[in-house]
Structure 1
Amino acid sequence: MSSSYDPRYAPAGDVGAALMVIDSRLKAIYDGTTETGPEQRLLMDQFIASSGPGGARDLLDGACTLIYMFMTWLRKAYEDHDKDVIEYVVPNLVATMRTMPRSIRPETIPTMAGMVIAAGTGLSPNLWRKQYGDWTKEEMNPLEATAFLLAEHINRLTGDRDYATRLITNALSSAEQD
């Protein structure tokens, strides 16, 4: 029996734009530029505004799709080693988010953990979240951080700083060819 939270019922959103945001954050961290400057934030705001009225929603759905795709890859990687993805990813994610109190409010962490657990068990994170109402402004940074932290986790596991980005780019390319 299929769940109403099955990913096939979820909007994919603008995965390319969401990946661009995450990849630029990864590159900034790897280059030692940890702070998001006002110029970068202005460029991001302009990018979202230029994508029309549905652009922010598409970017948000794209971020959720990234979370789902990253967790699917992580689940398979951990299963290959007879390990549970939830046991190894969620505590690390929560602990990291707790060290970021300026950008991630503590009350948003359970939502992000729940979304990652949903994705890790094969459910759509955006449909899972939708049951609790609309996204709030306070959840946008934690959502971005969640996708970023999962990508960084993948890069660390593989020893390749571009692996997570390539993973999604290759998946998008093969989807276009089909």
Structure 2
Amino acid sequence: MSSPCDPQYAPAGDVSAALMVIDSRLKALYDGRTEADPEHLRMVDQLAASMGPDEFGALLEGACTLIYMYMNWLGRACEDHGKDVIEYVVPTLVATMRMMPRTFRPEVVPTMAGLLIAAGSGLSPNLWRAQYGPWTDAEMNPLEATATLLAEYVNRICGDDRDFATRLITDALSRAEED
């Protein structure tokens, strides 16, 4: 039986814009910057200023699509080793979230964990979240950070290849365009 949260019913959103934001955030992490990079902030502000509500919604959907794609890839990698993606990925990321109280206020951690679990269960994170009402302002930064942590996790398990997660998505987008 199909779920109303099945990814086939979810719009992909603006995956390219979401990937650009996440890739920029990863580069800042790898450069050892702990404070917000002024150039990144300027880029995000410029992107946000150019967006209307529809484009901003597409960016949110794109971030959820990235979470889904990364969890899907991690799920296949875990299966190859006889492991469960939810059991091995979610606790690690939630523990990291809990160590970042300025980014992840305690009340948003369950929502971000829910997005990961929904994606790890084969559901659309965006449609899963939509059941509980519209996104809140308090969830914007944690959503970006969740996608970034997940991409960094993918990079780390791939031999610390700092660009693997970005290549994974760009390759998938290229294949989708060819089809």
The verdict on a shared fold, with TM-score over 0.5 as the criterion, is yes
CA distance in 1, matches of 2:42, 2:26: 18
**Cα-to-partner distance string for 1:64-103 (whole Å, 9 max, x where unaligned):** 0000000000000000000010011111111100111112
Q: How does the TM-score come out when normalised to structure 2? A: 0.96
Structure 2 equivalent of residue 174 of structure 1: 175
Structure 2 equivalent of residue 112 of structure 1: 112
CA distance in 2, matches of 1:157, 1:40: 26
CA distance in 1, matches of 2:79, 2:92: 18
Structure 2 equivalent of residue 165 of structure 1: 166
Give runs of aligned pairs for residues 89-128 of structure 1, distance below 5 A: 89-128=89-128
Structure 1 contact 112–146 (Cα < 8 Å) conserved? yes
* CA RMSD across the alignment: 1.0
Q: Does residue 21 of structure 2 align to residue 21 of structure 1?
A: yes
The residue type equivalent to 1:128 in the other structure is W
Structure 2 equivalent of residue 36 of structure 1: 36
CA distance in 1, matches of 2:174, 2:40: 28
Structure 1 equivalent of residue 148 of structure 2: 148
**Cα-to-partner distance string for 1:37-87 (whole Å, 9 max, x where unaligned):** 344323202212213332211110000000000000000000000001001
Q: Greater shift after overlay, 88-97 or 52-61?
A: 52-61
Structure 1 equivalent of residue 6 of structure 2: 6
Structure 2 equivalent of residue 78 of structure 1: 78
**Cα-to-partner distance string for 1:4-34 (whole Å, 9 max, x where unaligned):** 1110100111000000011011111111122
Give runs of aligned pairs for residues 134-145 of structure 1, distance below 5 A: 134-145=134-145
Gaps of 5+ in 2: none
Structure 1 runs of 4+ with >4 Å offset? none
Structure 2 contact 67–147 (Cα < 8 Å) conserved? yes
- Three-state SS of the structure 1 residue aligned to 2:103 is coil
Structure 1 equivalent of residue 60 of structure 2: 60
- Identity %, equivalent residues: 72
Gaps of 5+ in 1: none
Structure 1 equivalent of residue 46 of structure 2: 46
CA distance in 2, matches of 1:166, 1:37: 23
The residue type equivalent to 1:81 in the other structure is H
**Cα-to-partner distance string for 1:130-174 (whole Å, 9 max, x where unaligned):** 000000000011111110011000000001111000000000000
The residue type equivalent to 2:162 in the other structure is R
CA distance in 2, matches of 1:129, 1:73: 21
